[in-house]
Amino acid sequence: MVLLIHGYIKAYLPGVRENGGQYTHSSIWAIIAETILGFGDKAGEMYRMINPIEHSKTKEAVNKYKVEPFVIPADIYGESNLVGRGGWTWYTGSSSWFYKAGIEYILGFRIENNILRIEPCIPKDWKEYSIKYRFGRTIYNIKVKNLSGKNSGVTKFIVNGNEIENKEIKLEDDGNVYDIEVEL
């Protein structure tokens, strides 16, 4: 088995995919690991680094990147004349992991068994952000405030003016509007 995997990697040119390029799956898993460790500044920096739009801000960058600026590539090449070129766009695994890293791990928006939790791990300089979420006929307006300049650690979870001690809410399809304020 090890020989088979070794042969697979060596089948690519040096600096391409797992053979020395940026392999996006593992880069995204590294971002998730940074959030699990509580390093929101590093996670945010790494997330921006691999964000496709960051590789398309100038004509020169577009000519180097050579792929769509709105699709996460599976890899970025790292060898000589290919440095910075994206490859294998529309690659479902990388895009779904990128989405998951941003929404669930950095912004901290997590739903499990219709229970909503907001557990962000963000850069310290983010003062606030908001999420509007629709669950059936119900709207959840979520505002996360980081006035203390922290990476993580929810101190207050307030729903329609009432603090919720367990810092979670069961999602309801009742047609109401819920205003949630989360403080780090």
What is the predicted pLDDT for the residue at 33? 97
Instruction: Please report how the helices 40-50 and 24-36 are oriented relative to each other, as an axis angle in degrees rounded to 10.
Output: 160
Closest to 167 measured CA to CA, from 120, 105, 106:
120
Write phi, then psi, for 18 (nearest 5 degrees): -70, -10
What would the pLDDT profile of 56-105 be if each residue is shown by its tens digit? 899 999 999 888 888 888 888 877 788 888 888 887 688 889 999 999 99
- For the domain 120-183, what is the CATH code? 2.60.420.10
Q: What is the pTM of this model?
A: 0.85
What residue spans in the chain does CATH classification 2.60.420.10 cover?
A: 120-183
| CB-CB contact of 174 with 137 (8 Å) | yes
pLDDT of 1 above 50: no
Distance between CA atoms of 55 and 149, rounded to whole angstroms? Answer: 28
